[in-house]
Structure 1
Amino acid sequence: ITEFPEYYGYFAMEEYDYDGRSPANRFNRNPVLGTGLGADGLKTGHTEETGYSLVGSAVQDERRLIFAFTGLESAAARRREAEAMIVWGLRQFAIKEVASKGDVIGEIPVWMGSQSSINAVASDDLRMPFPTVGQGSVTTRIEYLSPLDAPIAEGAPVAELVVSIPSIPVRRFTLVSDRESTRGGFVPRVRAASTLLFDMAIGQVRSLME
């Protein structure tokens, strides 16, 4: 779908002829093509061991659903299951925007840099599927190695935004630096080292007091 989009349209053709193929086999066996559900692929299958199967795909309102199943007892059962999965998948989830391109998600300290910190921003519009019902609690966190080592180029990947929603896979989005931070001169580096040593000393004192 993404690597060879120029060929993907063949999967949506309901009928086609080509040399060496029996005329009786010119029809696409995908049972959900032409049903009005937005199906445009992909591949049916059948063996005695695994029964009837389908790797399917459908798109509605810029939302694409890709699914696969096997083990059905008949072609009719395969059709019913495919239709049910498309209806369920596209009705139970809605694409929502997590952040817009350039939104500041967090601030990250920079070690030995001309800037003491940089902002981690969304590299693009960040979107993902959310359940339409029973969404539950949504949690987000930023993951990065702190502090970041200078130099850091503007637009360089510096962190990941992790979004967790019950019952669906965790999504990770790359965050990038909103500015350049070159390696600092002598004074900024001495200041940064002093700050780090001070923070380490405070941490040790707190550990002894606990």
Structure 2
Amino acid sequence: MKLKHLILSGLFSVALSTHAVTPAPPSLSAKGYILVDYNSGQVIAEQNADEPLEPASLTKMMTSYAVSAELADGNISLHDEVTVSENAWAAKFPGSSVMFIEVGKQVSVEDLLKGVIIQSGNDASVALAEHVAGSEDGFADLMNHHAKKLGLSGTHFVNATGLPAENHITTARDMATLGAALIRDYPQEYETYKVKKFTYNNIEQYNRNRLLWDRSLNVDGLKTGHTEAAGYCLVSSATKDDMRLVAVVMGARSDQARKNESKKLLTYGFRFFETVKPLQAGTKVHSDRVWGGEVESAQLGTLEDVWLTIPRGKRKQLKANYVVNGALEAPVSKGQVVGKIFFQLDGKDVAETPLVALEDVVEGGFWTKISDGVSRWISEAF
């Protein structure tokens, strides 16, 4: 295997000056936090990101995710009318956030979903849980099913609200993953997360995510949470140019503190880092010999966009190399991993991605195999 240089020049249309050493992330007053680039998945800053913590109403992100999945599968409709049970009665949740739905009344799934996302309604969460799964316990099982599919290894849900319960836990890293999944998997439903207020039953309530009103950032979600045990929590997401960041702050001291600490993270990420796409899906990186194939060579590259998070001003210094893992023999399948692409900054590997076949190469006929066999023997012998 021989490392080969990949020319990246010309892939970037903007030349930026070389930046000085990137400052360390800000110090935050919180039990755990993390800042992730949505497109690349790279972690920009973190502290205690895998520590088990109570999620409080961050739980409702998974409540809305599970409901969105049911909507996408056609199992329920936004126009379904849900009859409010006693379990979902607003009076059952004194002192906590509610949508103010009443027993026996019918409320649409669309309004209930807004009540969960915008008003953080515990009553709306239970009503949706019962509509989808028959009971809140059954819905919690569905939530954990989705958590497992998304790889939330430090998360376990007991209810749909986030009210304190034994073994109802998560981590800052898992909440960042869940936030990114909401944005990626259900963009239409995600639009609700930036809505600032919602009126139901003649009661107007405002979204508790105060960053939605901050004009210095383009924040479009996600969710707040608070209980005495969990402290003040916030999962936020913002965009700037082609960059989207997801920040999670858990266990802050106050509503103002979770806003300020989240803003510190987002500002740091946008100020000192940038997202670049050195390779687009379908980009040919190399053409390599295929022995015994119907055609002589296979086009190699990547079938998915490659995103990287790098210090701002470093994109002109980004380099790439690739390696093919030995000789290719037919048949070769599209998407088959045949090597790796390595990306370097300042002489150090910063990321890697699989090098794959961009097309199928079927086996050649009898005489092609004989001819290629002789040619390969001569090539390897001499």
Under TM normalisation by the shorter chain, which class is it?
A: 0.7 to 0.9
Per-residue deviation at 1:35? 0.8
Work out whether residues 139 and 163 of structure 1, in 8 Å CA contact, stay in contact via their aligned partners in 2.
yes
Instruction: Indicate whether 1:18 and 2:200 are aligned.
Output: yes
Q: Does 1:115 align with 2:309?
A: no
Matched, 1:75 2:255: yes
Matched residue, 1:89? 269
1:29 aligns with 2:221: no
**What is residue 341 of structure 2 aligned with on the other side?**
161
Contact 1:126–1:173 (Cα < 8 Å) also in 2: no
Structure 2 alignment gaps of length 5 or more: 1-182
- Label 1:94 to 1:111 Cα distance change in 2 as closer, same or farther (>3 A): same
Shift of 1:127: 4.2
Q: Does the 8 A contact of 2:276 with 2:307 survive in 1? A: yes
The alpha carbon displacement at 1:16 in A equals: 0.9
Residues 1:138 and 1:11: Cα distance change in structure 2 (over 3 Å): same
Structure 2 counterpart SS, 1:81: helix
Taking structure 1 as the reference length, what is the TM-score of the superposition?
Answer: 0.74
How many equivalent pairs are there?
A: 196
Q: Counterpart of 1:29 in structure 2: which amino acid?
A: R
Q: Tell me, what secondary structure is at the counterpart of 1:113?
A: coil
- Separation (CA, whole Å) in 1 of partners of 2:186 and 2:266: 23
Give the superposition deviation at 1:72: 1.1
1:15 CA drift (Å): 1.1
CA apart distance, 1:5? 1.3
Output the amino acid matched with 1:70.
Answer: M
What secondary structure sits across from 1:188 in the alignment?
Answer: helix
Q: Give the deviation of 1:69 after TM superposition.
A: 1.9
Percentage identity across aligned positions? 25
Deviation, 1:128, is 3.1
* 2:322 and 2:355 in contact (8 A); partners too: no
Structure 1 segments unaligned to the other structure (5+ residues): 203-210
Shift of 1:174: 6.1
Correspondence for 2:369: 189
For residue 364 of structure 2, give the secondary structure of its aligned residue in structure 1: coil
> How much does 1:144 deviate?
5.2
The structure, 1 or 2, with the larger RCO (C-alpha pairs under 8 Å, 6+ apart) is 2
The CA deviation at 1:42 is 0.6
Question: For residue 170 of structure 1, what is the aligned residue in structure 2?
Answer: 351
Q: Distance in 2 between matches of 1:8 and 1:164?
A: 35
The 1-side partners of 2:353 and 2:269 are apart by: 21
8 Å contact kept, 1:55–1:67: yes
Rounded Cα–Cα distance in structure 1 between residues aligned with 2:349 and 2:199 = 41
Give the equivalent residue in structure 2 for 1:4: 186
CA distance in 2 between partners of 1:87 and 1:101 (Å): 30
Higher deviation after alignment, 119-128 or 77-86: 119-128
User: What is the rounded CA distance, in whole Å, between the counterparts of 1:14 and 1:173 in structure 2?
Assistant: 42
Higher helix share: 2
Change (3 A) 1:130 1:120: same
CA RMSD of the aligned region, Å? 3.4
Distance 1:117 1:187 in 2: 17
Equivalent position SS for 1:142:
strand
Q: 1:113, 1:188 within 8 Å by CA — same for their partners in 2?
A: yes
Q: Comparing both structures, which one devotes a greater share of its residues to strand?
A: 1
Q: How much has 1:175 moved relative to structure 2?
A: 4.3
Pairing of 1:26-65 with structure 2 (within 5 A)? 26-36=205-215, 37-65=217-245
Distance 1:110 1:91 in 2: 46
Over 3 Å counting, the alpha-carbon distance change for 1:186 and 1:54 in structure 2 is same
Residues of 2 paired with 1:168 and 1:82: CA distance?
30
Contact 1:41–1:57 (Cα < 8 Å) also in 2:
yes
